[in-house]
């Protein structure tokens, strides 16, 4: 045999064949390969990237972007893929046993990875519903104190209702109105898989007049769970908009969900990394009401002298009786005359006449430039088996109102560790401590500075108030230059205080277990707690509390969630068919505890202790409990990576529903088809996807509605019977939604359009229906009402320019939503009052919008002209439709331009339409404080434009003259909702940010990896016809609700200017 083989080799052809064969055999010998996958732009490791060859998965990168392939044949064609990055293809050579791969981010959606319900990461192309994701830069470019402000103008279909003020509690709303309850349209906020309580906890004021003249307290924004989230810790925000996207979250996500993923050390380069961030910002008021300073104090009706001229006299003098007690500004014109006026030295009537003059800064000079300084220090490290990131942030805020603001400390830890090849543990914990010696009161109330701004008169110097207390009566008798009704503004700022000490924790502990090659188990426990101690003080001589007031309130909320998710994954026929089947469950328990200790009347002024009451403290306790147990399942099917079908089902058992109905099931089905992978399209179309979603989601109600509960009575040792009849038969609300949309990209993904159309019908709404008093109850809880909500959303994004040094990305979002009340319980008479404030009522009317504003209107002739009676406009006898508080549409336009180390970001947003009622406008116009009330004053009379009705029923022009004070007081009277309602359209220059990243070569000999400096502005300009401060106003109503469409005692919304310094070592 050996001889034959040797003889064969001597032949030229045989020798060549053997050499080639031996070379081929040698090349086929597998080798051990290691490597690392990084991002092209930042060089950061990319965990979770897949390395494939011949359709088979060879490795997945770890938290450091590293991979290890035990056996790889030279010449193999490798594909490295990761959602959000462009696929890279390479041929492995035997001389490259250590691969270094850098992936570029994709401008298309084909490989983008997003966070979905339950925190599951999925390919965007596989989703059958609308979703948007924002990265950390979008959240911190112009770093707001409340992170959700950064969402404005960037998410189609999103609206944020905010209260303003230092803590600026907010409610995120997606896709309009589905529920007829005042707080039933908020989206669920989830942080690292843990739901966060976004509701307000009452501050005491509960009447619909927003702490008006009849109230004994003032609403205060003590913050909510949303405001506790630190924007510096946010890595990404995923917006799930419809029931199809959120069905697995259950009832609380019936209105969509906002999923926040906090930063971890997974993207850190191996070794310790240190980052420091300083953010300093200044708040300046740039938009004011158009106050008039041409006429001074006086009612304009009785302050005339013998000559028939308007005059002024502080107290009764030789010029006539006192006119200094009026809160109106219909007095004499400032024209160089002299009157007996207030003497700040005597704190009474001056002994001589002084110049009658305006003090044009007597409102503006009360406010100050706000300042917020935030410092964040973070440490991160990663190794082969795990990663960790820890951060501490300190924020100090001095708000625009003197002596108000807050201090906040947050600490966060996010860590993961691979215990073994089969088990990985991870945790994310966020702790917040916030404190304030004084938070401002809100609304129309003596204890709110917004109230003072309404009643301040042009001829009153703000400096007259600064001493606060009369000499010898400090803390007992206030200085009030012109009215005993209005509290001193500096007492409001410095002595009428609302203190806060609060702690909040949001955290989870998760285990991911690989039970088998295709079977995984996720176990997770999460907790969200919030504990607040509130301290409210009112000194002597304040309105409502002549002998002082003191209350201590303790509020504790807690929610615990326990989850499991068992998942099976498989693929067949060379990965043509894929399957992921999962089954899971959740146990949720929540609690709310509140204790109020209140003293009305203090023995010793200024001593705020519970032992210093004129009478014993009033003690009240409130508590509620809720539990929901859930089981759910989901199946994800895929075919050739171009057709995806998701099926889900969830069953909840809620303790807030009657036992017979506390179990309810709801399914969903979502389809995604990548048309561009299925058929040949024109070259100009890079990507085309069609999606369809059909879903149901159930919703329960508040605790305590299925049994008879007695309330606290004002009489000792007694209780009050409930006025609302409980219900043992009502069912859960059910929302049924259909959504369809397309995603299309052109010109190699440089131009993209995402369009969604949806319709949701919500039935079995749990509403309070009035009863006849003979029943012993005023109302009953019933399933009553069906609402249809539908809309259209468009997202157009483009990269018009991109080259080595310059890139321009731009995105336009546009959304319109319409709601309609399809049915109501007959006992409601076709109309449901959702919430009232002042003379305006948010009302749902059968056959009309679910967000209507109702009130009295001008009485009009058939041709639309206002009907006058004795020169005064007449109003209707019953409330009528004034307008829809929901706008025609909302839109936003964002731009990001990068040139070498510079990056300029801008956001412009706005809305068209919407109706907004202003109580402040009513009061300031009624009192002659605004510039538009100057008309007719020179002449001394006004003839209103309109008609009078004649005896025969015909109409003729109005010719009756009336004094301006009478005209404006009656035209804009309290009960005329129409006269004080305005178009809420606006355009805002929301954000501008300019950042410079210093060249890394500057720091080659240092440990500095990155250094950047940015300057920015927020709310820089507003174009709007709304006459008060901000058309995006919201009102705190009933203590726990955020009410849009009504403005009551609003305070200014400032513009913000700041800079941000980031250093990474």
Instruction: From residue 710, give the alpha-carbon distance in Å to each of 369, 724, 734.
Output: 48, 11, 30
Helix (H, G, I), strand (E, B) or coil at 404: coil
Report how far residue 265's alpha carbon sits from residue 414's, in angstroms, rounded to the nearest whole number.
7
Give the burial string for 548-564 (b: 16+ CB within 10 Å, else e). Answer: bbbbbbebbbbbbbebe
Torsions phi, psi for 787 (to 5 deg): -125, 135
Q: Is 441 exposed, middle or buried (0-12, 13-18, 19+ CB in 10 A)?
A: buried
| pLDDT at residue 62, rounded to an integer | 76
Report how far residue 157's alpha carbon sits from residue 518's, in angstroms, rounded to the nearest whole number.
38
Greatest CA separation for the chain: 144
Residue with the bigger pLDDT between 701 and 773: it is: 701
pLDDT at residue 16 greater than cutoff 90? no
Torsions phi, psi for 246 (to 5 deg): -120, 5
pLDDT at residue 107 greater than cutoff 70? no
Match 């300019």 to its residue by tokens: 994
Q: CB–CB of 1056/1018 below 8 Å?
A: yes
| pLDDT at residue 773, rounded to an integer | 72
The single-letter DSSP state of residue 115 is: E
Residues 6+ apart with CB under 8 A from 454: 444, 920, 923, 924, 927, 929, 1049
The candidate with the shortest Cα–Cα distance to 113, out of 89, 131, 95, is 131
| pLDDT at residue 3, rounded to an integer | 47
Cα–chain-centroid distance for residue 17? 74
pLDDT at residue 619 greater than cutoff 60? yes
Report how far residue 1043's alpha carbon sits from residue 648's, in angstroms, rounded to the nearest whole number.
34
* CATH, range 147-286+369-447+496-709+721-851+886-914+984-1064: 2.40.170.20
- CA dihedral sign of residues 783, 787, 788, 792: negative
Report how far residue 493's alpha carbon sits from residue 496's, in angstroms, rounded to the nearest whole number.
6
Per-residue pLDDT reduced to its tens digit, 141-177: 888 888 999 999 999 999 998 888 899 888 899 998 8
| pLDDT at residue 402, rounded to an integer | 97
Residue with the bigger pLDDT between 92 and 263: it is: 263
Averaged pLDDT, 839-865 = 93
Task: Count, in order, helices (H) and strands (E) of the chain.
Answer: 9, 60
Give the burial string for 930-950 (b: 16+ CB within 10 Å, else e). Answer: beebeebbeeeebbbebbbee
Two tokens, residue 21: 């064969």
Could you confirm whether domain 25-103 is CATH 3.30.70.260?
Answer: no
pLDDT at residue 205 greater than cutoff 50? no
Which residues face 543 on adjacent strands?
Answer: none
Give the burial string for 45-54 (b: 16+ CB within 10 Å, else e). Answer: bbbebbbbbe
Cα–chain-centroid distance for residue 904? 25
pLDDT at residue 110 greater than cutoff 60? no
Which residues face 812 on adjacent strands?
Answer: 796, 893
Domain spans, the chain: 25-103, 147-286+369-447+496-709+721-851+886-914+984-1064
Torsions phi, psi for 1029 (to 5 deg): -85, -60
The single-letter DSSP state of residue 180 is: S
Q: CB–CB of 471/346 below 8 Å?
A: no
Match 């991911």 to its residue by tokens: 512
The answer to which of 21-30, 537-546, 719-728 has the lowest mean pLDDT is: 21-30
**Per-residue confidence at 207, pLDDT binned at 50, 70, 90?**
very low
Match 């209702």 to its residue by tokens: 161
Which residues face 418 on adjacent strands?
Answer: 424
Report how far residue 934's alpha carbon sits from residue 902's, in angstroms, rounded to the nearest whole number.
50
The candidate with the shortest Cα–Cα distance to 525, out of 559, 548, 551, 550, is 559
Report how far residue 906's alpha carbon sits from residue 568's, in angstroms, rounded to the nearest whole number.
44
Averaged pLDDT, 917-927 = 95
Per-residue pLDDT reduced to its tens digit, 979-1029: 999 999 999 999 999 999 999 889 888 989 899 999 999 999 999 999 999
**pTM, rounded to two decimals:** 0.87
Per-residue pLDDT reduced to its tens digit, 484-519: 778 999 999 999 999 999 999 999 999 999 999 899
Per-residue pLDDT reduced to its tens digit, 728-744: 888 888 999 999 999 99
Residues 6+ apart with CB under 8 A from 938: none
Two tokens, residue 529: 């707690």
The candidate with the shortest Cα–Cα distance to 920, out of 982, 843, 858, 988, is 982
Averaged pLDDT, 99-128 = 76
The candidate with the shortest Cα–Cα distance to 156, out of 958, 720, 753, is 753
| pLDDT at residue 179, rounded to an integer | 87
β 915-918/1046-1047 pair status: parallel
Q: CB–CB of 925/972 below 8 Å?
A: yes
Per-residue pLDDT reduced to its tens digit, 509-563: 999 999 998 999 999 999 999 999 999 999 999 988 999 999 999 999 999 999 9
Instruction: From residue 373, give the alpha-carbon distance in Å to each of 368, 390, 1013, 1061.
Output: 16, 20, 15, 12
Match 């990576």 to its residue by tokens: 641
């Amino acid at each position: 045999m050996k001889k034959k083989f040797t003889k064969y080799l001597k032949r030229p052809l045989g020798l060549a064949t053997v050499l080639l064969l031996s070379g081929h055999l040698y090349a086929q010998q597998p080798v051990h390969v290691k490597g690392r996958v990084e991002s092209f732009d930042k060089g950061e490791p990319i965990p979770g990237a897949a390395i494939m060859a011949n359709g088979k998965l060879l490795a997945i990168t770890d938290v450091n972007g590293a991979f290890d392939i035990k056996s790889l044949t030279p010449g193999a064609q490798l594909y490295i893929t990761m959602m959000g990055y462009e696929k890279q293809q390479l041929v492995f050579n035997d001389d490259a046993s250590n691969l270094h791969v850098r992936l570029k981010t994709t401008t298309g959606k084909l490989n983008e990875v997003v966070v979905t319900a339950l925190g599951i990461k999925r390919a965007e192309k596989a989703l059958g519903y609308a979703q948007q994701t924002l990265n950390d830069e979008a959240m911190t470019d112009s770093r707001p104190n409340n992170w959700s402000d950064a969402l404005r103008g960037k998410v189609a279909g999103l609206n944020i209702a905010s209260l303003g003020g230092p803590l600026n509690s907010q409610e995120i709303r997606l896709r309009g109105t589905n529920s007829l309850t005042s707080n039933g349209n908020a989206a669920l906020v989830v942080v690292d898989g843990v739901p966060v309580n976004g509701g307000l906890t009452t501050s005491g004021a509960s009447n619909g007049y927003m702490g008006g003249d009849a109230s004994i307290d003032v609403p205060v924004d003590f913050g909510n769970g949303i405001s506790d989230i630190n924007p510096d810790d946010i890595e990404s925000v995923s917006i799930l908009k419809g029931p199809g996207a959120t069905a697995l979250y259950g009832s609380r996500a019936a209105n969509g969900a906002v999923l926040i993923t906090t930063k971890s050390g997974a993207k850190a380069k191996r070794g310790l990394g240190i980052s420091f961030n300083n953010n300093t910002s200044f708040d300046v008021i740039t938009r004011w009401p158009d106050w008039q300073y041409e006429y001074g104090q006086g009612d304009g009706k009785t302050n005339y002298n013998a000559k028939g001229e308007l005059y002024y006299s502080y107290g009764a003098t030789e010029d006539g009786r006192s006119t200094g007690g009026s809160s109106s500004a219909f007095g004499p014109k400032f024209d160089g005359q002299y009157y007996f006026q207030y003497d700040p030295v005597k704190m009474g009537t001056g002994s001589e006449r002084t110049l009658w003059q305006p003090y044009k800064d007597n409102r503006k000079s009360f406010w100050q430039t706000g300042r917020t300084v935030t410092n964040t220090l973070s440490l991160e490290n990663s190794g082969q088996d795990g990663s960790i990131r820890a951060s501490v942030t300190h924020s100090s805020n001095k708000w625009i109102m003197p002596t108000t603001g807050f201090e906040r400390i947050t600490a966060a830890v996010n860590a993961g560790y691979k215990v073994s090849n089969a088990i990985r543990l991870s945790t994310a914990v966020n702790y917040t401590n916030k404190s304030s010696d004084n938070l401002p009161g809100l609304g129309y109330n003596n204890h709110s500075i917004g109230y003072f701004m309404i009643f301040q008169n042009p001829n009153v110097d703000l400096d007259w108030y600064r001493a606060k207390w009369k000499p010898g009566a400090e803390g007992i008798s206030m200085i009030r230059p012109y009215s005993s009704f209005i509290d001193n503004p500096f007492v409001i700022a410095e002595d009428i205080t609302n203190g806060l000490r609060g702690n909040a924790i949001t955290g989870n502990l998760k285990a991911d277990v690989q039970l088998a090659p295709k079977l995984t188990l996720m176990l997770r426990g999460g907790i969200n707690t919030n504990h607040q101690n509130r301290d409210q003080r009112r000194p002597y001589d304040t309105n409502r509390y002549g002998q002082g007031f003191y209350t201590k309130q303790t509020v504790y909320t807690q929610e615990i969630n326990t989850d499991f998710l068992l998942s099976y994954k498989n693929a067949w026929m060379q990965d043509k068919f894929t399957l992921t089947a999962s089954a899971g469950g959740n146990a949720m328990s929540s609690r709310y505890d509140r204790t109020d200790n209140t003293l009305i009347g203090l023995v010793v002024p200024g001593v705020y202790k519970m032992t210093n009451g004129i009478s014993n403290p009033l003690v009240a306790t409130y508590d509620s409990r809720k539990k929901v147990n859930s089981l759910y399942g989901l199946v994800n099917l895929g075919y050739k990576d171009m057709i995806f079908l998701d099926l889900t089902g969830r069953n909840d058992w809620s303790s807030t529903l009657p036992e017979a109905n506390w179990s309810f099931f709801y399914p969903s089905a979502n389809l995604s088809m990548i048309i561009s992978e299925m058929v040949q399209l024109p070259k100009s179309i890079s990507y085309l996807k069609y999606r369809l979603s059909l879903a149901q989601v159930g919703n329960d109600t508040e605790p305590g509605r299925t049994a008879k509960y007695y309330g606290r009575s004002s009489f000792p040792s007694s209780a009050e019977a409930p006025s609302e009849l409980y219900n043992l038969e009502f069912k859960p609300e059910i929302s049924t939604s259909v959504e369809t949309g397309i995603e299309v990209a052109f010109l190699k993904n440089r131009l993209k359009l995402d369009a969604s159309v949806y319709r949701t019908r919500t039935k079995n709404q749990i509403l309070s229906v009035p009863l006849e008093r003979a029943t012993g109850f005023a109302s009953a809880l019933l399933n009553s009402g069906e609402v249809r909500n539908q809309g259209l959303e468009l997202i157009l994004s483009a990269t018009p320019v991109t080259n080595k040094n310059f890139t321009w990305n731009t995105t336009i979002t546009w959304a319109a939503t319409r709601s309609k009340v399809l049915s109501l319980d007959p006992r409601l008479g076709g109309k449901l009052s959702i919430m009232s404030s002042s003379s305006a009522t948010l009302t749902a009317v059968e056959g009309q919008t679910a967000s209507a504003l109702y009130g009295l209107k001008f009485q009009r002739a058939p041709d639309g002209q206002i009907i006058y009676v004795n020169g005064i406009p007449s109003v209707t006898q019953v409330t009528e439709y004034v307008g829809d508080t929901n706008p025609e549409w909302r839109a936003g336009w964002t731009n990001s331009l990068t040139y070498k180390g510079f990056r300029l970001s801008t956001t412009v947003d706005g809305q068209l339409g919407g109706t907004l009622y202003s109580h402040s406008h009513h009061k300031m116009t009624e009192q002659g404080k605004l510039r538009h009330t100057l008309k007719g004053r020179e002449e001394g009379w006004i003839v209103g434009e309109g008609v009078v009705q004649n005896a025969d029923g015909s109409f003729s022009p109005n010719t009756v003259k009336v004094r301006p004070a009478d005209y404006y007081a009656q035209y804009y009277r309290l009960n005329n909702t129409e006269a004080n309602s305005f178009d809420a359209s606006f355009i805002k220059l929301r954000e501008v940010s300019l950042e410079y990243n210093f060249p890394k070569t500057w720091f080659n000999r240092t440990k500095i990896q990155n250094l950047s400096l940015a300057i920015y502005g927020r709310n820089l300009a507003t174009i709007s016809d709304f006459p008060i401060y901000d058309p995006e106003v919201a009102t705190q109503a009933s203590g726990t609700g955020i009410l849009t469409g009504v403005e009551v005692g609003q305070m200014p919304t400032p513009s913000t200017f700041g800079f941000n310094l980031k250093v990474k070592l």
